């Protein structure tokens, strides 16, 4: 009898262990499935918030992106943080955040002034990144960091890309590097999930436009003028042709910037077929040159809303303006005739100036 009882106990124990193992296995499978689901959801969220994902979704829905630019630290970082939240809340699709730098060769007086004020108030790269770390995770719009090459070199390319990615940035734009030097930057960007946006200009030949378009990520930044950033009275008529030239060599989104300061400018660029409208100097001026931060935020918001409204209104509305816009631009077209020059992005002369400036004066943002 005892052997039989012992055998029964053993079988009962084995059955119990087997049941426990099955329960544990089921639990493990459920946990693994939940983790997979979470990973998929997180990946989907990241894709939806990426620059390229945002631009692709807008293009699919035949909408044009509103891309505002502001300079970090002007009038102060607390106001910059509030401004980013406001721009996100009113429906900016992508937001560019400029890192103040002592020698901004691509920028005109307005953004130069903003950068100078920010640096004088002690804004550093580290402080900008910490501010981004606070605000970016809660934003719907992907954030593109706009910075010159010198601060990146000073910090170390890998460290810079890793840090801004961890802070919540989704893209990087470096205006003073030629196409030939972008592969190394892109390699580090891709390592940390950043997209490198490249620029093309009115002096860029179509063959080189094609190379830039192939290398650019997120969108192609089409500079509308031969010169620096600033507020313009009218958009140059040749921009329409430049948009068409880019569309002939790429299916990536084209966003037009430099000189956009009024709703009619935004509507005109939309009518010309661009997938994105970038406004910087006018917003920077509204935010940084007001009497108080509160007045600056209100002025910036008012302008941003008017620009977005012009971009987001039904296509038929802007279509009605197309002929008027073309005629207005045609009236001043003779002022903008020029010979195209071979070169990348800013062209050889600007790149030489950039190189000379970097070699002569390795100043960085307040020690940042």
Query: Cα(116)–Cα(122) distance, rounded to whole angstroms?
Result: 10
Query: Coil, strand, or helix at residue 203?
Result: coil
Q: What is the distance between the alpha carbons of residues 34 and 321, in angstroms, rounded to a whole number? A: 52
Alpha helices in the chain, H assignment, sequence order: 2-49, 51-60, 77-90, 109-120, 125-135, 149-155, 157-167, 182-191, 206-215, 238-249, 263-271, 281-288, 293-312, 315-319, 322-331, 348-360
Task: Give SS3 for 228.
Answer: coil
Separation CA 176–CA 159 (nearest Å):
19
Catalytic residue set? 96, 107
Exposed e or buried b for every residue in 26-57, given b needs 16+ CB within 10 A?
eeeeeeeeeeeeeeeeeeeeeeebbbbbbbbe
How long is the chain?
368
- Residues in contact with 166: Cβ distance below 8 Å, sequence separation at least 6, in sequence order: 133, 192
Give how far Cα 356 sits from Cα of 35, 105, 334, 353, 361, Å: 52, 11, 33, 5, 8
């Amino acid at each position: 009898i005892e052997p039989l009882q012992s055998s029964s106990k053993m079988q009962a124990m084995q059955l119990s262990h087997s049941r426990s193992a099955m329960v544990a296995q089921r639990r493990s499978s459920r946990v693994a499935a939940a983790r997979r689901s979470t990973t998929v959801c997180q990946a989907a969220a990241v894709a939806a918030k990426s620059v390229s994902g945002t631009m692709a979704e807008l293009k699919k829905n035949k909408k044009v992106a509103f891309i505002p630019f502001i300079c970090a630290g002007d009038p102060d970082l607390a106001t910059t943080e509030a401004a980013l939240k406001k721009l996100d809340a009113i429906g900016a699709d992508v937001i560019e955040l400029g890192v103040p730098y002592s020698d901004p060769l691509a920028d005109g007086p307005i953004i130069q002034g903003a950068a100078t004020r920010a640096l004088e108030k002690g804004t550093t790269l580290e402080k900008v990144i910490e501010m981004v770390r606070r605000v970016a995770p809660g934003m719907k719009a992907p954030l593109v960091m706009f910075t010159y090459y010198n601060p990146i070199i000073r910090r170390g390319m890998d460290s810079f890309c890793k840090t801004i990615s961890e802070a919540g940035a989704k893209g990087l734009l470096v205006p003073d590097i030629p196409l030939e030097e972008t592969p190394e930057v892109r390699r580090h960007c891709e390592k940390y999930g950043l997209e490198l946006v490249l620029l093309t200009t009115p002096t860029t030949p179509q063959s080189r436009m094609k190379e830039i378009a192939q290398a650019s990520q997120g969108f192609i930044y089409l500079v509308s003028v031969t010169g620096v950033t600033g507020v313009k009275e009218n958009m140059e008529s040749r921009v329409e042709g430049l948009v068409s030239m880019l569309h002939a060599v790429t299916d990536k989104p084209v966003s037009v910037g430099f000189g956009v300061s009024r709703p009619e400018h935004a509507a005109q660029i939309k009518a010309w077929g661009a997938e994105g409208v970038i406004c910087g100097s006018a917003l920077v001026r509204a935010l940084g040159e007001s009497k108080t931060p509160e007045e600056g935020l209100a002025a910036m918001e008012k302008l941003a809303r008017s620009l977005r409204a012009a971009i987001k209104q039904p296509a038929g509305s802007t279509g009605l303006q197309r002929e008027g816009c073309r005629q207005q631009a045609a009236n001043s077209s003779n002022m903008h005739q020029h010979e195209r020059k071979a070169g990348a992005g800013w062209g050889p002369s600007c790149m030489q100036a950039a190189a000379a400036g970097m070699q002569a004066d390795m100043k960085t943002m307040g020690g940042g």
